[in-house]
């Protein structure tokens, strides 16, 4: 299609507060094992552009950081494409050019005439400029920009029914069913006469962020619109009430067979969220509705983690994350069981504000320095390390069916010439009454000497099964799967010792456990499953 994908923001742009000035202080091992990982994967996948971030990394701006751009990204990672700056994230001419920036955006302040003068004066060698131009042209040639002249208009409306269908399918597939007590969902049309659709979020859903996270959309399908369209040819009555006054919502909820409460929170660049709370009125609405209707469903759209002070009071909770323009249709597909939810949480949902922060992490920093003192212990790794039970665990997600794990087996793969690859086989069966997909997750536990978190995700397999159907799921682990970063050799290494393999449905729902050993010659042995 002639489109260059850009991986961003490189690197350690984890906060927006003082993003133009603050410096991230991070150790080498943490950087390699956590924060370089997404960019390593993007480079391996063939990404042709990387955008450097606003912040400093260990005291040096990311867009003129020789260590992160030249030594690591273009050197050790082998990135062949070009580095562009975030908008106005360049701070120099000579240092940026020499230290890895190839393109300044959105316009020439430090490059352009200033770069030309630097080359002519000898401050920036011609060979450096040639390299910058080569990387940009290489990327353009790689995706065929010069082979396929552009004939369209940037302002053309290219939406279509096919695009809407993709947006709807993707949103439904990414909807996470967190809780479903008493099998309130899916909605059985035969047993429902009235549906209460409650909250301002049912009419005006949060489906995007601000700044670069904003997407102009001609029409967003609201939840109320989607649900009414779904039952248009039935006798089911759909009644709506906004967030306030609560009395109106309560009256509607009391007379309904099921109450659907919609809420959400957004985020924007340049500002961090002040807290993880949902709107206070929405929290209160969910509580009062749950008190009068035992079949209350709370549906939350959010760009990240959120708090649920009412979690124990409602039987059903759905995390729709950032669902996009077809939200009303996609959430209706899930609510009525036209789509069996199979998404899993890509984050951990906490019990309270600053649950992690009271131990080691540092935000928003001290004197414009944000020190990543938590090291490797972030997300589910922190909860495991300190034995804290989260509200909902990383990798968690329910289905309208159930799955059984059994017959785990592990052996050295005969197809591996060096016999350094373990094949781990797990039998998964759909033990429920409807078809659905299970997302099996493999976690690795390292020897104590490695000083790693108790478990680290090392594999994901998604399988779709009919009722009663079984399938053998295969995970492959090589020595590369065992690697940790060694700060003495400044390279990856394998630590000898006893390893634990855990397979389950989330980071806190481990179904099967096995083990193996790595000897002093870094060979895998003593496999026990």
pLDDT tens string 454-481: 999 999 999 999 999 999 999 998 888 9
Cα–Cα distance between 13 and 52 in angstroms, integer?
9
221 touches 325 (CB < 8 A):
yes
Mean pLDDT of 376-380: 95
Mean pLDDT of 204-213: 88
Please name the residues in contact with 454: beta carbons below 8 A apart, sequence gap of 6 or more: 381, 384, 385, 445
Q: What is the mean pLDDT of the chain?
A: 94
- Does the active-site annotation cover 86? yes
> Of the candidates 81, 80, 83, 55, which has an alpha carbon nearest to the alpha carbon of residue 69?
83
Q: Which two tokens stand for residue 94?
A: 């000579």
Mean pLDDT of 71-99: 98
pLDDT digits (tens, 9 = 90+) for 259-272: 999 999 999 998 99
Q: Say whether 85 sits in a helix, a strand or coil.
A: strand
Mean pLDDT of 22-50: 97
Q: Which of 18, 27, 86, 528 is catalytic?
A: 86
pLDDT digits (tens, 9 = 90+) for 156-182: 888 899 999 999 999 999 999 999 999
Please name the residues in contact with 455: beta carbons below 8 A apart, sequence gap of 6 or more: 380, 381, 384, 443, 444, 445, 500, 502, 507
Least trusted range by pLDDT, from 154-158, 196-200, 288-292, 431-435: 154-158
> Of the candidates 8, 80, 75, which has an alpha carbon nearest to the alpha carbon of residue 38?
8
Q: Which long-range contacts (CB under 8 A, 24 or more apart) does 416-421 make?
A: 416/478, 419/523, 419/524, 420/478, 420/479, 420/523, 420/524, 421/476, 421/477, 421/478
pLDDT digits (tens, 9 = 90+) for 303-358: 999 999 999 999 999 999 999 999 999 999 999 999 999 999 999 999 999 886 54
pLDDT (0 to 100) of residue 416: 53
Q: What percent of the chain has pLDDT over 90?
A: 85
pLDDT (0 to 100) of residue 421: 83
pLDDT digits (tens, 9 = 90+) for 406-454: 988 888 876 655 556 889 999 999 999 999 999 999 999 999 999 999 9
Please report how many Cα atoms fall inside a 13 Å half-sphere around the Cα of residue 120, on the Cβ side. Answer: 7
pLDDT (0 to 100) of residue 419: 53
pLDDT (0 to 100) of residue 360: 53
Cα–Cα distance between 265 and 401 in angstroms, integer?
30
**Confidence band of 154 (pLDDT split at 50, 70, 90):** confident
> Of the candidates 506, 419, 365, which has an alpha carbon nearest to the alpha carbon of residue 14?
365
pLDDT score of 387 more than 80: yes
65 touches 99 (CB < 8 A):
yes
Q: Which domains does the chain have, with CATH numbers?
A: 6-142 (3.20.20.300), 162-335 (3.40.50.1700), 403-528 (2.60.40.10)
Q: Say whether 292 sits in a helix, a strand or coil.
A: helix
pLDDT score of 217 more than 90: no
Mean pLDDT of 93-111: 97
pLDDT (0 to 100) of residue 152: 82
pLDDT (0 to 100) of residue 202: 97
Phi, psi angle pair for 270, to nearest 5°: 80, -20
């Amino acid at each position: 299609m002639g489109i260059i994908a850009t991986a961003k923001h490189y690197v350690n742009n984890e906060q927006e507060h003082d993003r133009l000035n603050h410096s991230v202080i991070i150790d080498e091992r943490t950087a390699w094992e956590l924060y370089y990982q997404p960019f390593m994967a993007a480079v391996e996948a063939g990404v042709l552009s990387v955008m450097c971030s606003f912040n400093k990394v260990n005291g040096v701006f990311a867009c003129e950081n020789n260590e992160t751009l030249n030594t690591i990204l273009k050197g050790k990672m082998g990135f062949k494409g070009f580095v562009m700056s975030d908008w106005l994230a360049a701070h120099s001419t000579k240092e940026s050019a020499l230290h890895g920036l190839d393109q300044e955006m959105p316009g020439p302040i430090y490059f352009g005439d200033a770069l030309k003068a630097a080359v002519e004066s000898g401050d920036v060698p011609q060979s450096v400029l040639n390299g910058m131009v080569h990387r940009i042209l290489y990327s353009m040639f790689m995706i065929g920009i010069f082979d396929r002249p552009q004939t369209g208009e940037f302002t053309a409306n290219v939406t279509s029914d096919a695009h809407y269908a993709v947006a709807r399918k993707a949103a439904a597939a990414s909807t996470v069913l967190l809780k479903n007590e008493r099998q309130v969902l899916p909605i059985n049309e035969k047993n429902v006469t009235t549906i209460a659709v409650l909250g301002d979020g049912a009419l005006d859903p949060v489906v995007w962020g601000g700044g670069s996270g904003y997407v102009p959309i001609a029409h967003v399908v609201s939840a109320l619109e989607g649900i009414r369209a779904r039952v248009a040819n039935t006798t089911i009555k759909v009644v709506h009430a906004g967030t306030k006054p609560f009395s109106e919502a309560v009256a509607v909820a009391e007379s309904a067979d099921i109450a659907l409460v919609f809420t959400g929170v957004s985020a924007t660049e340049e500002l961090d969220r002040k807290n993880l709370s949902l709107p206070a009125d929405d929290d209160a609405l969910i509580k009062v509705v749950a008190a009068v209707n035992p079949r209350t469903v709370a549906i939350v759209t959010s760009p990240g983690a959120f708090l649920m002070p009412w979690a124990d009071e409602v039987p059903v909770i759905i995390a729709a994350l950032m669902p996009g323009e077809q939200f009303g249709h996609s959430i209706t597909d899930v609510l009525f069981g036209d789509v069996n939810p199979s998404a899993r949480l890509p984050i951990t949902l906490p019990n309270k504000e600053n649950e992690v922060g009271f131990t080691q992490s540092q935000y928003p920093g001290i004197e414009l320095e944000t020190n990543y003192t938590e090291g490797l212990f972030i997300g589910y790794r922190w909860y495991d390390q300190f034995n804290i039970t989260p509200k909902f665990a990383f990798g968690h997600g329910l289905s309208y069916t159930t799955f059984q794990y059994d017959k785990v087996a592990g052996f050295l793969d005969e197809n591996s010439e060096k016999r350094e690859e373990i094949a781990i086989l797990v039998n998964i069966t759909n033990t429920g009454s409807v078809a659905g997909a299970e997302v099996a997750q493999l976690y690795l536990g390292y020897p104590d000497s490695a000083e790693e978190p108790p478990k680290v995700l090392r594999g994901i397999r998604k399988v779709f099964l009919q009722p009663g159907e079984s399938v053998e799921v295969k995970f492959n682990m090589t020595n590369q799967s065992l690697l940790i970063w060694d700060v003495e050799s400044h390279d990856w290494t394998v630590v000898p010792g006893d390893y634990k393999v855990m397979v389950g449905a989330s980071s806190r729902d481990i179904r099967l456990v096995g083990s193996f050993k790595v000897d002093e010659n870094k060979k895998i042995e003593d496999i026990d499953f």
